Amino acid sequence: MTANAPGQVCLMQGNEAIVRGAVEAGIHFAASYPGSPSSQILGMLGKIARERNFYAEWSTNEVCALQACCGASLAGARALCVVKQNGLLCTADALHCAAQHGVKGGLVIVSSDDPSAHSSTNEFDSRWQALSAGIPLLEPTTMQEAKDMIPYAFELSEAVGQIVLVRLTTRVCHGRGNVALGALPEKPRALERVKEWDRMVCVCYMHGPALQKLEELRQRFEVSPFNHYDGPEAPRRLVIAGGTGCLYGQEALRRLNAGAETGFLALGTLWPLPEAYILKHLRAAEEVLILEEVDPFLEQAIQALAGREGLRVRFLGRSGGALPRIGELDPDNVTAAIARLIGASLPEKRPAGELELPVREMSFCAGCPHRATFYLLKRAMRQEKHPGVVVGDIGCYFMAGQSAGQYAYQVCNCMGSGVNVAEGLGQLTNYGLDQKVVTMCGDSTFFHTILPGLVNATYHNANMLLIVLDNSATAMTGFQPHPGTGLTAMGEAVKPMDIPKILDAVGCKVEVADPFDVVEAEKTLRRLLDQPGMNVLIMRQPCATLKAKERSRKPVRVYVDQSVCLGDGCGCDKYCSRVWGCPGNTWDFRNNKAQIDPVTCVGCGVCAKLCPSGAIRVEEESEERNRCVPAGADLTTKGGEEA
C-alpha cells in the first residue's frame, strides 16, 4: 500500500485501491464512521497514517467526520471523508452548507452504496446527493479507476474549490482487479496558516458562485479521461453506462457479438454531465439503453438533455421496465436488456452449479449476547398485561426484527432513531396508550446519534426503557474503535468514555445487567419495565466474536447428554435448536435428539441454562478437564441460578 513503485501492477480490492489513491494524492487528513461496504478504507488508512505522515480518525459519526474534513481543508489540507450511503444522508445539512461555502484544500467524499442491501437496511443511490448539493460526482468501474480517480478528484476539488463526491458500489468496493501503481509524493504539501480573510462561511450569496463552479466542472468533464466511447461513429442503438454497468455492458456486448453495430458510452464523470460529449454520440441514436445502479439517475438526466435538444430517442433503463427497478445489476439482467435492444436471442445460459444452496437466514452469531437479551425481552414483554412496543435501531441487533431476535421489533427507522421513536410513544402513555415502550442501541450507536435523543427523552421524562446493548465493539462493521473502547484508528490508547457516567450526567435512572446471567437479567428487566419515567438498562457482555478473537473466554466444551434430552418426545418442541436458535444448537436426525456443533459453539453456556430437561452440559476444558458441570451451573458469569 505504501510502496513507491510506479508502474508496478498489484492485485487489489476496490477499497484498497481507494486507499492507494489517497496515499498517491498525498492526503493530510482522513475521517470516517464505519459502514459496509467501505469500512476497510479508514481501517487501512489508520494503519499507515504514521508512516505516511497524515492523520486518520474513526469519528463519532459522519457529520463529525465531514465537518472535521472541512476544518482541515481550511488549513489547505487534503482531506478524505469516507461514508456509506446512509452516512452520506446523515451529513446532508453539513454537505449542502459545505457545498455552498466551498473548500480550500481538496476535500473528497467517498460514499459507498449497497445495491440490493447486502449489508444494509435499504438500498439508496448516493448520486442524488451530488445533484442536490450541487457538487461534482465521479464513479469508477474498475479497481484501476478507483485508484486513479482519487488523485484526480483532489486536483479537481482544489482547481474549482469544491467538494468532490466519488461514489462506489459494493461490487467495486469488494471486487478485485489489477492496479498499476502511480508515484507517491515525496513529502506532504505544507499546510497553510489560516489568514484573517480566508473564508469558508455558508451564506446565501455563495449559491451563485457554487453554481458557476458546476459550469466550470462541466467543461472539464467534456475532456475527462474517465469517459470513453466504443462503436460506430453514428450509432442507431446506444448503450450508456456508469459504474458496474460498464463492465456488465461490455461483457454482454461480447457475449452477443454486437459490439460492431452498437455504440457503448462509458461515463466516469456523472455530474455535471459532459453534455457535448454525450450529444456527440446521442444525435444519431434511435434507441438508448442506460445501465446504472440503482435509480434512473442518468436515464432522467440524459432524457432531459435529449428533450432539450429536440432529439427523438426512445430511452430504456431502470424506469421503463427494461431493467429491474430495484436491486443490483448483474451480467444476466444486463445481457437480457441488451439482447432486447438489438433484437438478438439470448446466449445459452451458463449451467448453474449442481448444488442448490439453501437460503441462509440472518442470524446472530453463536454465543452472541444480543440473542439472550432479545430472548429475555420477548419473554418479559409477553408477561405484561398488554404486550409492549419494541422500537429497534441499527447495528447487529437490527436482525432482532427477524427470527434471530424472536421478531422483536414493531418499528425500526434509521440509525439513532430508536430513542426518538420511543420517546414519542412514551409520551403517549400519559394520554391513554396502555403499553410499555422499549428501545435499544449498541454502544457505538450510543455515541453516534443516541445522545441528543437521550437528553430529549430524559428532559421530557418519557415513560420508556432504553436498553444499551454494550458488547464493547462496533461489531457489525468489523470492530472499529469508538469512544467507549479506548483506542483510536491510529492504534493510540486513549481514555475510554464511560457510558454509565454519561447516562448519570444526563440524569437517567441506570442499571447494568449481564444477559448471560439470565435469571438476574430478567428480574432487572421486568423491574425496570414497571418503573415509570426514563430508564436505562445496560446489557453488558462482550461480543462473542471479539472474545474469540481475543481468546478471552474460558475454554469449555458444551454438549448434549442425549440420554437426558428427550428430543421430540419431551414436549419442548426442539426448544434449543428451534426457539433459542443459536447456530451451535443443531439437531441429530439419526437419534432424533439435540446436539451441539462443536465447531460453531463458542461455549457461552446460555443454552444450558434454558434447556428445560437439563440435557445440555458445560464442561471445563483446561485445569479441571473432564469435570461435568450440571446444566444451570454458571461458568461464564457471576450468576449460576437455573432459568
Which residues lie near ligand SF4 (CB under 6 A)?
A: 366-367, 558, 560, 565-567, 570, 572, 574-576, 582, 584-585, 594, 596, 601-607, 611, 613, 615-616
**Nearest CB to ligand SF4, comparing residues 231 and 632:** 632
At closest approach, how far in Å is the CB of 465 from ligand SF4?
25
**Nearest CB to ligand SF4, comparing residues 164 and 629:** 629
Other beta carbons less than 10 A from residue 229's beta carbon:
17
At closest approach, how far in Å is the CB of 217 from ligand SF4?
54
- In the chain, the N- to C-terminal Cα span, in Å, equals 52
Contacts of 424 (CB under 8 A, 6+ apart): none
**Nearest CB to ligand SF4, comparing residues 32 and 545:** 545
Residues 509 and 355: their CA atoms lie apart, in Å, by 54
Other beta carbons less than 10 A from residue 370's beta carbon:
27
At closest approach, how far in Å is the CB of 587 from ligand SF4?
8
Residue 635 has which C-alpha cell? 461458568
CB 19 within 8 A of CB 178: no
Residue 13 has which C-alpha cell? 480490492
Other beta carbons less than 10 A from residue 146's beta carbon:
30
CB 206 within 8 A of CB 102: yes
Cα dihedral 550/555/561/567 (nearest 10)? 0
**Nearest CB to ligand SF4, comparing residues 273 and 615:** 615
**Nearest CB to ligand SF4, comparing residues 238 and 607:** 607
Residue 336 has which C-alpha cell? 437480457
| CA 399 to the chain's CA centroid | 14
Contacts of 590 (CB under 8 A, 6+ apart): none
**Nearest CB to ligand SF4, comparing residues 298 and 582:** 582
Residues 376 and 561: their CA atoms lie apart, in Å, by 25
With cell 467543461, the residue in question is: 219
At closest approach, how far in Å is the CB of 563 from ligand SF4?
11
CB 176 within 8 A of CB 10: no
Residue 559 has which C-alpha cell? 454438549
**Nearest CB to ligand SF4, comparing residues 160 and 611:** 611
**Nearest CB to ligand SF4, comparing residues 496 and 567:** 567
At closest approach, how far in Å is the CB of 226 from ligand SF4?
49
At closest approach, how far in Å is the CB of 580 from ligand SF4?
7
Q: Which residue is nearest to ligand SF4 (CB)?
A: 584
Name which of 94, 124, 93 is nearest 107 in CA terms: 94
**Nearest CB to ligand SF4, comparing residues 526 and 574:** 574
**Nearest CB to ligand SF4, comparing residues 189 and 578:** 578
At closest approach, how far in Å is the CB of 586 from ligand SF4?
9
**Nearest CB to ligand SF4, comparing residues 421 and 607:** 607
At closest approach, how far in Å is the CB of 375 from ligand SF4?
10
| Ramachandran angles phi, psi of 118, nearest 5° | -65, -35
Residues 505 and 536: their CA atoms lie apart, in Å, by 13
At closest approach, how far in Å is the CB of 642 from ligand SF4?
13
Contacts of 76 (CB under 8 A, 6+ apart): 104, 105, 189, 190, 191, 192
At closest approach, how far in Å is the CB of 592 from ligand SF4?
10
**Nearest CB to ligand SF4, comparing residues 303 and 545:** 545
Quote the DSSP letter at residue 397.
Answer: G
At closest approach, how far in Å is the CB of 170 from ligand SF4?
30
Residues 199 and 202: their CA atoms lie apart, in Å, by 9
Residues 267 and 224: their CA atoms lie apart, in Å, by 9
Residue 452, exposed/middle/buried by CB under 10 A (0-12, 13-18, 19+)? exposed
At closest approach, how far in Å is the CB of 394 from ligand SF4?
24
